[in-house]
Amino acid sequence: MLGWFPVAAALGVFFQVTYLGLRPALAEEQRLIAAQDELEARHARAALLGEELDRLLRAQADPIYRERERRLLLAPAD
């Protein structure tokens, strides 16, 4: 009977790792995958907004663009 103790102890450790370690780890992996997808979508939106703001900043630094905007604001509305 005492000869089966190492086998029972190994099975006990196996079940403990499986149910107390592996299942929560797999659930956390799924949560992190979903969070990663959300983060990648937010990053893509932020990158597009950054590109648009960069384009506007370059346009505002262009003297020809500024002059056209000034003339457009001064033009009488028809």
Residue 48 is assigned to a structural domain of this protein? yes
Residue 42 is assigned to a structural domain of this protein? yes
The predicted pLDDT at position 32 comes to: 96
The predicted pLDDT at position 24 comes to: 86
Looking at the structure of the chain, the number of domains it has is 1
Tokens at 1, concatenated: 């009977």
The predicted pLDDT at position 53 comes to: 97
Low-confidence ranges of the chain (pLDDT < 50): none
What is the Cα–Cα distance from 55 to 62, expressed in whole angstroms?
11
By 3-state DSSP, what share of the chain in percent is helix, strand and coil, each rounded to 5? 90, 0, 10
Is residue 66 within 8 Å of residue 60, measured between CB atoms?
yes
pTM score, two decimals?
Answer: 0.56
Residue 8 is assigned to a structural domain of this protein? no
The predicted pLDDT at position 78 comes to: 63
The predicted pLDDT at position 5 comes to: 84
